[in-house]
Structure 1
Amino acid sequence: MCTNILLKSKNGDAVISARTMDFGGDFITKLHKIPRSEKYYDILFNNETEFTKFKKEFEITEWENAYGYLSTHAYFKVEKWEFEIPTCMDGMNEKGLSGATLWMPCADYPKPNITKKNILSIHLVAYILATCATVNDVVDKLEGVNVINFSTSLNKFIPQHFVFSDSKGKSLIVEFKGGKMITHQPTNGVLTNYPFYDKQLINLKKYDDLTFENKEYTYCENDSSKCSQDTNGSGMSGKIEHNGLPGDATPKSRFVRASKFSEVNFEATNSQDAVTHIQQLIQTLQVPVGTIVPNKNNCGNKNENKNKWDMKNGYDHTKWCVIREHNSFGKINYYYYTNDNPTLQKISLDKIDWEKDSNPIDFEANNKTWYAETNFSS
């Protein structure tokens, strides 16, 4: 699952993006501050033994960070090891470049290549944020990179595709098909999941007639039988009823909704305008808990496995969202909120000392104060 979207204000004062993290499994999410001049793997692994096991499994390239960045990491357990592998799901660096990982079931990665830098797909976002400042930099950097998947010996396959956006509002989508890397440069940073991006664009053409402008109607004050006042929002209903804006949670439908919403007349006079605007849009793309239930015939043993699923951790739903101000009135900010805590948490990248390391922020640690209480005084 997952949805990403980007907006640029008409006056050019704000470039802002947002994404959902939709998933059905239970995993830990932590926010790391990754400083400059550090080696990524030195930061993410707890000890040399863990890293030695990891590096032995993969012929991977190490790198030193040219830029500091915030990294939203998920941690996945690998059965053959006693520790969890960190996976960079989202992040933004000090230059306003963001990177996002989204699920892509049909991703087919290249094989390891000793003539290029082999980067694990789960660490591509981290590598790009550490070494690039703009989307143009990303394009150049990817020419010398070979993105590979987990070794089959780990019995793990995390199919992904990626979207990167910079402070100028440029975006780059990176996908892997037939063992080759394919890139696209959209104007709106919209990405969901299956199918591949080019197929999403073909499907999107079906909705070209949708508009924000209401359809013309006739208002009949004295004769309700002649009234055709199907007004507010009717521009998105399409020429024919079944061709309106789709509202289900499938990747195709979310792609259409996000793409159409990205066409909104976006104006912002301050940071709050920008953040609240895109927050409203991303909330329409979230997947509420309980609205997706696996088909009983796809649960293996119908009687046993279905009972092991619990509503909150087993079924796909939005676990958290992030909002990124790449360049909003001269500021670079990163916001997030979780399914358990809708209170918006803000991190100002301009105020961070990128030369120093720090302890990670646990998303769940912010779930205590999830509302603001208002009292009436006598």
Structure 2
Amino acid sequence: MCTGIQLKTTKGVPVYARTMEFGTSLHSKILVIHPGHKFTAIGPTDDYPGMSWTSQYAIVGINAMDREVIADGMNSEGLAVGSFYQPGYASYMDITSENAKLSLSSIDVTTWLLSSCSNVNDVKEKIKGLQINNGIPIVDGKQTGTTPYPLHYNIHDTSGNALVIECINGVLFCYDNPIGILTNSPTFDWHLTNLRNYVNISPDNKPVTNLVTSKQKNTATPFGQGSGFLGLPGDFTPPSRFIRAFALTQSVLPVDEPLDAITQAFHILSSFDIPEGVIREHTLDENGDPITTYDKTLWTSACDLKNKKYYFHSRNNRTIRMVDLGNWNFHETEEVTSMNMEDSQQVEQLYPVKVPA
């Protein structure tokens, strides 16, 4: 469960923002990774590691499962990439042991793109021949499941170009994304087609309507504001969130400055925030006992792609924080800097102003 959007200022500066929802904690932290850092991807099996490579660019982002893998982030060229869940559709390639070192697991793709590509056109070139294996992450000595994480990928650059990459039945699909929106299943092209069911949606209030009967003429006035959005889906399913994200991003008034667009993006994504308990999944654990998981918003992030600033707030601390990658001191910090993002809510207390004697 994730919702991603793009906004542009009046000067064309793009801002990419997204939410991250999941049924369990992802143990996420903020990572800043130096250029030159070496990575090794998860291979198709425990015995055969995946691709090894060296990062060309600095990266800031949010990791998952205490690993050096980025779930969402931005690099020093202003390229942003996010992993989005796509259950029931994303499926990968059967990689032989001979080709294991040429492949990535699904959770490594975002990190590889951020460390290897400078813009959307660069991504299009470098994913030619990309092999995504069926590798499963291991945390604390145990596999995190029985199947690979089903993901598709949301990509944005400083020119405002956007791209979606999906792997369906082992075949890579690459879609230009003219509206900058992405959610989850089904496939991106289906979501674009589904927009046609909502061409009546408008931010403009409906006018007074004349009601003419055989005996008299009456008028019907909308009860209040927002009648143009009647019929806009309000649930948390991926198709409904896609439509709602499109309607909101198309309707907001453009702003002049990137920071104002960041604020606007957080406002929009607040309407997708899921409190714990609103979505419940009833399944069985490994012993066959019933368990319930609660899908909830874990964190929300936003990127000023021009100025290389990465903003975020978390479920437990709604205060917006920021990492300025453009001004990061790489000479005095570790090759990988990890910062906590799950601290408690920061609340500013106001005090009365003393009246001068």
Instruction: Identify the match of residue 86 of structure 2 among 104, 115, 119.
Output: 104
Q: What amino acid does structure 1 have at the position aligned with 2:123?
A: V
Within 5 A, what are the aligned runs for 1:273-288? Answer: 273-288=260-275
Instruction: Identify the match of residue 260 of structure 1 among 213, 229, 247.
Output: 247
Give 1:168's aligned residue.
159
Note the C-alpha offset of 1:9: 2.2
Identical-pair percentage: 27
Q: Distance in 1 between matches of 2:285 and 2:195?
A: 34
Q: Distance in 2 between matches of 1:195 and 1:150?
A: 22
1:338 aligns with 2:314: yes
1:6 aligns with 2:20: no
Contact 2:21 2:295 in 1 (8 A): yes
Within 5 A, what are the aligned runs for 1:291-302? Answer: 291-295=278-282, 298-299=283-284
Structure 2: gaps (5+ residues): 211-217
Contact 1:325 1:333 in 2 (8 A): yes
Instruction: Identify the match of residue 326 of structure 1 among 286, 293, 305.
Output: 305
Q: Distance in 2 between matches of 1:193 and 1:212?
A: 25
Structure in which a larger fraction of residues adopt strand: 2
Note the C-alpha offset of 1:189: 2.1
- 203 and 352 in structure 1: CA distance in 2 versus 1, 3 angstrom threshold: same
Q: Distance in 2 between matches of 1:206 and 1:54?
A: 41
Within 5 A, what are the aligned runs for 1:55-204? Answer: 57-75=47-65, 85-105=67-87, 106-112=89-95, 114=99, 117-150=102-135, 154=143, 155-204=146-195
Give 1:79's aligned residue.
none
Note the C-alpha offset of 1:269: 2.5
- 265 and 317 in structure 1: CA distance in 2 versus 1, 3 angstrom threshold: closer
Contact 1:117 1:144 in 2 (8 A): no
Note the C-alpha offset of 1:285: 1.6
Give 2:228's aligned residue.
235
TM-score by length of 1: 0.81
- 29 and 152 in structure 1: CA distance in 2 versus 1, 3 angstrom threshold: closer
Q: How many residues align?
A: 336
TM-score by length of 2: 0.86
Note the C-alpha offset of 1:181: 0.6
Q: Distance in 1 between matches of 2:279 and 2:258?
A: 34
Contact 2:279 2:295 in 1 (8 A): yes
Note the C-alpha offset of 1:92: 0.4
Q: Distance in 2 between matches of 1:209 and 1:227?
A: 19
Note the C-alpha offset of 1:192: 0.8
- 372 and 58 in structure 1: CA distance in 2 versus 1, 3 angstrom threshold: farther
Contact 1:335 1:344 in 2 (8 A): yes
Contact 1:217 1:231 in 2 (8 A): no
Structure in which a larger fraction of residues adopt helix: 1
- 283 and 259 in structure 1: CA distance in 2 versus 1, 3 angstrom threshold: same
SS in structure 1 opposite 2:279?
A: coil
Contact 1:57 1:151 in 2 (8 A): no
Note the C-alpha offset of 1:27: 2.8
Per-residue CA deviation, residues 258-288 of structure 1 (Å, 9 max, x unaligned), is 1122212542222331111111111112212
